[in-house]
C-alpha cells in the first residue's frame, strides 16, 4: 500500500517546535552534567577499588580511536565463564541440582536404580558416595537425565526446573543467584561495543533457556559442553533427539577449542573464576593484542561462599598462583563488590 | 578527565538552526517520496517474478506487528548454504580447488606422493581418478592439506589462496563469483531485523576469512564442517593446532544438528540449492512457526552452470521433487535473476 501523507502547516510547526525543544534540552544537559557523572554511573555495584579502575582503563584503552591499544568494534569479543563467574556454584553446580531432581523424578520408571550406583546414592541423598562414583558415575547420571528426549522437550524440562527448584542454602530460585556486579560488567562491555559470550563447562542446552533473561546473552552466544543429537522424523515431523553420548567438554583446554569453533576469533576479554578458565585466559592474553583476563575470587563466606584451592567445584589454584605474573586481575568479591545478589539488601 | 563545556549563545543558535533544517527536510522527503519507492529498491538484481514477490510477502508477514505470522526480531534467524547458494560450486567446490593447489605446493616435501593415490592423480591432473578414490581418498586429501598447522597459519593460507588462485572457467578470483541477488537477499533480510548465518558443508575455517567481506557475515555466524583442534603451548605461546581428524560434517542431516549446536534456535528462513540442504529445509518449515525455504535451481548454463539431478557437486533431486508439495520456493536462476556475478555487464 503506498504511503500517503497530506502535509498541513500545523504538522510542520509542531515538528519544528519539538525539534527545537529536544536540541535545547541536549545542549543544556551536556553543560550541566559533566561526563564523569555518566562514567561513575557505570558498574554501580562495584566499590571504587583498583579492580574497577583496571576494568575501566582497559575499556577506555581499547575503545579510544587513535590510541595505541584501540580495537575495532568487530574484534571486541568478551567471553565469560558461567558457574562461579556469573552465578554461584556452591554447594554444587546448579546443573547437578537439576540432575539430582531429575533422577528422583524418573526413579519410579527405573526400579533397578534402587540397587544400582550411582543412582542408589542419589536416591538416598548420600552425595559423598555419589562423588565417589567418579567421572564415569557422573557421566552416567548426566546421560540418564539429559538424553532420550527431543531438544524442545529438554528445554521445557530445564525451564520448568528453574521455575520450581530452590537453592539448598538460600532457599531462593537458582536463577536469582546471579552476581549483580558481573551482570553490570556484561552491560558495560556491550555499551562499549563488545559482543559478549558465555563459555562454560556447563551444558549448552541447560543454559540457553535462561541466559537471555539473566544476562542479555542470546542462545547463539552461549558455548558449553554438548551431548550428541540426531535429526529424525517422528511420524513426518522433523525433530532433534538427544543421545546418551557426550560430544564435547567445554572446560580447561577445551575452552579455547570451543571459542575457536563457535566464534572463530580470539577474545580480548575473559572472565572466569577457576582453573577451568586458565587456558582461555592464556589464549586471550597470549597473542599480539591487548587482552584482559579477570578471575573472580570467592572470598566472601557471609554474602556468598568462601573457597578456592581446595574446592571440588570451581577450584582456583594454578590461575591464582600465576595471576600477578600474567597481569590478570583477581577480583576480591568481599572487598570489590558492593553487593552480590539482587535480593541482597 | 572531566568533560568541560563553555556554553555560548552561538552554539545554541547553530544547533537549533540545524535541528530545524533536519526536521524540515524529513517532513518534505516523506511527503514527496511515497514509501513504495523504498520497497521497490529492495532486491534490485531480481526480476519482478513470483520468486521475488514470495520472498517479500514472507518478510512482510513476519515483520508486521500484530499480524498472524509476526515473528519477534530475536527469532528472525535466517540460514544460508554457501556452495551453489551464495557462490558457484562448478566444475568443483572452490575448497577442492584449494586442496588441489595445496597438494601441488606441498608435493616437494612429500616425494612418496608421486606413487601414492589419490595424491598421484592430483599431481598428474587426473581428476576422474581422484573422484574414484571415494570418500576415504577425499578425507586423506583434506586432512593432508588442512591439518598440521595452527589455526592462524591456516587462515593465512586461505587468505593467500583467494588472493592468487583463479577459477578454471571464468579466470576470475574465486571470491568474485558470489551471486549478487543472494548477497542482496542477505542485506534485505538484515535490514528487516533478521540475523543471517551460513550453514555449509564446507570447512568452517575455509570460509571464515572471507565471509565478512563477501556477505557481511562475521565469523561467529558461520557454521561448517570442522576438523579437531588442540590447545597447546608452543614455547610459552598458546596456540590451537589443527589435527588430521574430521570432527563434524555439516551436511544433510548434520545441518539441523549444527544449527541447533551453534545457534540454539530454529531458523524461520532457509536458503539452499541441493539435497544436502533438504533436512535443514524440513527443520525450518516443519515446526509451529511460519518457516520459509528457498532452493536456488541452477538453470543458467550461459551465465553460470546448468545442473541438478545428475551433478557430482550440488545434486538437487529429492528436494526438487518435494518442493511444490512442501511449498518451498524454487528460484529459477535464468528467469528470476537479472544478473549473476558482480563482474557481469
Give the pLDDT score at B15.
Answer: 52
Q: How far apart are CA B133 and CA A88, in angstroms?
A: 54
Interface test with B, best of A14, A19, A77, A222 (most B CBs within 10 A): A19
Comparing CA positions, the residue from A229, A262, A93 lying closest to residue A168 is: A93
Give the pLDDT score at B31.
Answer: 46
Contact A23 B16 (CB under 8 A): yes
Comparing CA positions, the residue from B85, B83, B97, B87 lying closest to residue B175 is: B87
Name the minimum distance, in Å, from the CA of A140 to any CA of chain B.
Answer: 22
Q: List phi, psi (to 5°) of B240.
A: -115, 120
pLDDT at B150 over 70: yes
- Pairs from B320-325 (Cβ < 8 Å, separation ≥ 24): B320/B295, B322/B278, B323/B295
Contact B20 A24 (CB under 8 A): no
Q: Which residue of A has its CA nearest to B203?
A: A261
Give the pLDDT score at A22.
Answer: 56
A30-A35-A36 Cα angle (round to 5): 150
Q: Is the ipTM of this complex over 0.85?
A: yes
Q: Which residue of B has its CA nearest to A19?
A: B19
A191-A196-A167 Cα angle (round to 5): 110
Residue B3 CA, distance from chain mean position: 45
Cα dihedral across residues A325, A329, A335, A341: positive or negative: negative
Name the minimum distance, in Å, from the CA of A262 to any CA of chain B.
Answer: 6
Contact A220, B264 (CB under 8 A): yes
Give the pLDDT score at B3.
Answer: 41
Q: How confident is the model at residue B268 (pLDDT cuts 50, 70, 90)?
A: very high
* Chain B residues within 8 A of A282 when measuring between CB atoms: 233, 238
Q: How far apart are CA A319 and CA A328, in angstroms?
A: 9
A198: left (phi over 0), alpha (psi -120 to 50) or beta: beta
Buried b (16+ CB within 10 A) or exposed e, B312-345: ebbbbeebbeebeeeebbbbbbbebbeebbeeee
Q: Which residues of chain A have pLDDT under 50?
A: 1-9, 27-28, 30-39
Contact A24 B12 (CB under 8 A): yes
Topology, domain A44-91+176-336: Rossmann fold (3.40.50)
Name the minimum distance, in Å, from the CA of B263 to any CA of chain A.
Answer: 4
Q: Is B180 helix (H, G, I), strand (E, B) or coil?
A: helix
Residue B299 Cα distances to A236, B138, B278, B309, angstroms: 31, 28, 19, 12
Give the pLDDT score at A13.
Answer: 55
Q: How confident is the model at residue B44 (pLDDT cuts 50, 70, 90)?
A: very high
Q: Which residue of B has its CA nearest to A284?
A: B238
Comparing CA positions, the residue from B187, B201, B179, B183 lying closest to residue B300 is: B179
Instruction: Give tens-digit pLDDT for A42-87.
Output: 999 999 999 999 999 999 999 999 999 999 999 999 999 999 999 9
Does the global pTM surpass 0.90?
no
Across chain B, mean pLDDT equals 90
- Report the residue from B31, B264, B283 with minimal CB separation from A208: B264
Give the pLDDT score at B128.
Answer: 87
Contact B35 A3 (CB under 8 A): yes
Diameter of chain A by CA atoms?
85
Contact B282 A238 (CB under 8 A): yes
pLDDT at B260 over 50: yes
Contact A333, A300 (CB under 8 A): yes
Give the pLDDT score at B135.
Answer: 82
Give the pLDDT score at A148.
Answer: 95
Interacting residues of A162 by C-beta distance below 8 A, sequence separation 6+? A173, A174, A175, A209, A210
Q: Which residue of A has its CA nearest to B218?
A: A74
Contact B263 A220 (CB under 8 A): yes
Q: How far apart are CA B272 and CA B80, in angstroms?
A: 6
Q: How far apart are CA B19 and CA B25, in angstroms?
A: 10
B232-B237-B240 Cα angle (round to 5): 35
Name the minimum distance, in Å, from the CA of A284 to any CA of chain B.
Answer: 9
Interface test with B, best of A31, A220, A223 (most B CBs within 10 A): A220
Q: Which residue of B has its CA nearest to A258?
A: B229
Share of chain B above pLDDT 90, in %: 82
Contact B2 A36 (CB under 8 A): yes
- Report the residue from B11, B19, B262 with minimal CB separation from A19: B19
* Chain A residues within 8 A of B236 when measuring between CB atoms: 286
CA atoms within 13 A on the CB side of B339: 12
Give the pLDDT score at B17.
Answer: 60
Comparing CA positions, the residue from B332, B283, B24 lying closest to residue B181 is: B332
- Report the residue from A19, A195, A229 with minimal CB separation from B257: A229
Interacting residues of B44 by C-beta distance below 8 A, sequence separation 6+? B184, B338
Contact B27 A7 (CB under 8 A): yes
A180-A185-A191 Cα angle (round to 5): 125
Share of chain B above pLDDT 70, in %: 88
Give the pLDDT score at B55.
Answer: 98
Mean pLDDT (whole number) for B99-104: 96
Q: How far apart are CA A22 and CA A268, in angstroms?
A: 38
Q: Which residue of B has its CA nearest to A212?
A: B74
* Chain A residues within 8 A of B24 when measuring between CB atoms: 12, 16
Beta bridge partners of B294: B271, B329
Residue A29 Cα distances to A37, A240, B88, angstroms: 12, 54, 55
* Chain B residues within 8 A of A238 when measuring between CB atoms: 256, 279, 282-283, 286-287
Beta strands in A66-203 (DSSP E): 77-80, 195-203
Count of CB pairs separated by less than 8 Å, A with B? 140
Contact A237 B286 (CB under 8 A): yes
CB atoms within 10 A of CB A16: 17
CB atoms within 10 A of CB A133: 18
The better pLDDT of the pair B225, A9 is held by: B225
Q: How confident is the model at residue B133 (pLDDT cuts 50, 70, 90)?
A: confident
Provide the residue ranges of all domains of chain A, joining segments of one domain with +: 44-91+176-336, 94-164
Contact A253 B263 (CB under 8 A): no
H/E element holding B230? strand B222-234
* Chain B residues within 8 A of A5 when measuring between CB atoms: 30-31
pLDDT at B303 over 50: yes
Contact A27 B11 (CB under 8 A): yes
pLDDT at B173 over 90: yes
Give the pLDDT score at B21.
Answer: 58
What the block records as the C-alpha cell of B242 is 589443527
Interacting residues of B122 by C-beta distance below 8 A, sequence separation 6+? B100, B103, B104, B130, B141
Beta strands in chain A (DSSP E): 77-80, 195-203, 222-234, 237-248, 269-272, 292-297, 329-332
Name the minimum distance, in Å, from the CA of A36 to any CA of chain B.
Answer: 6
Give the pLDDT score at B336.
Answer: 98
* Chain A residues within 8 A of B27 when measuring between CB atoms: 7, 11-12, 15
The CATH homologous superfamily to which domain B42-91+174-336 belongs is HAD superfamily/HAD-like (3.40.50.1000)
Cα dihedral across residues B258, B263, B265, B266: positive or negative: negative
H runs (alpha helix) in chain B: 9-32, 36-41, 50-63, 94-106, 119-123, 127-132, 134-146, 151-164, 180-191, 204-215, 254-262, 278-285, 318-322, 333-336
Contact B7 A27 (CB under 8 A): yes
Instruction: Give tens-digit pLDDT for B55-64.
Output: 999 999 999 9
Amino acid at each position: 500500500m503506498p504511503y500517503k501523507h497530506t502535509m498541513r502547516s500545523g504538522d510542520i510547526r509542531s515538528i519544528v517546535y519539538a525539534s527545537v525543544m529536544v536540541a535545547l534540552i541536549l545542549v543544556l544537559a551536556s553543560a550541566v552534567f559533566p561526563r564523569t557523572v555518566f562514567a561513575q554511573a557505570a558498574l554501580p555495584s562495584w566499590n571504587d577499588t583498583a579492580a574497577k579502575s583496571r576494568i575501566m582503563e582497559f575499556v577506555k584503552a581499547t575503545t579510544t580511536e587513535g590510541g595505541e591499544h584501540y580495537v575495532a568494534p568487530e574484534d571486541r569479543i568478551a567471553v565469560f565463564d558461567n558457574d562461579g563467574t556469573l552465578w554461584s556454584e556452591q554447594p554444587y553446580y546448579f546443573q547437578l541440582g537439576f540432575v539430582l531432581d531429575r533422577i528422583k523424578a524418573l526413579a519410579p520408571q527405573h526400579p533397578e536404580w534402587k540397587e544400582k550406583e550411582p543412582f542408589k546414592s542419589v536416591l538416598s541423598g548420600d552425595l559423598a558416595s555419589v562423588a565417589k562414583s567418579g567421572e564415569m558415575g557422573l557421566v552416567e547420571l548426566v546421560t540418564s537425565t539429559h538424553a532420550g528426549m527431543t531438544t524442545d522437550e529438554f528445554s521445557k524440562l530445564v525451564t520448568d526446573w528453574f521455575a520450581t527448584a530452590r537453592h539448598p542454602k538460600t532457599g531462593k530460585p537458582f536463577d536469582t543467584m546471579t552476581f549483580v556486579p558481573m551482570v553490570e560488567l556484561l552491560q558495560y562491555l556491550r555499551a562499549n561495543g563488545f559482543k559478549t559470550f558465555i563459555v562454560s563447562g556447563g551444558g549448552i542446552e541447560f543454559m540457553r533457556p535462561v541466559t537471555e533473561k539473566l544476562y542479555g546473552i542470546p542462545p547463539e552466544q552461549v558455548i558449553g559442553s554438548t551431548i550428541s543429537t540426531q535429526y529424525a522424523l517422528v511420524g513426518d515431523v522433523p525433530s532433534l533427539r538427544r543421545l546418551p553420548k557426550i560430544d564435547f567438554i567445554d572446560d580447561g583446554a577445551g575452552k579455547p577449542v570451543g571459542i575457536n569453533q563457535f566464534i572463530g576469533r580470539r577474545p580480548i576479554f575473559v572472565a572466569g573464576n577457576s582453573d577451568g578458565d586458565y587456558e582461555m585466559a592464556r589464549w586471550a592474553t597470549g597473542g599480539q593484542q591487548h587482552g584482559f583476563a579477570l578471575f573472580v575470587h570467592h572470598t566472601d563466606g557471609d554474602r556468598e561462599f568462601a573457597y578456592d584451592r581446595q574446592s571440588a567445584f570451581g577450584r582456583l589454584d594454578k590461575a591464582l598462583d600465576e595471576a600477578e605474573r600474567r597481569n590478570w586481575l583477581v577480583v576480591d568479591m568481599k572487598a570489590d563488590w558492593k553487593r552480590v545478589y539482587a535480593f541482597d539488601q
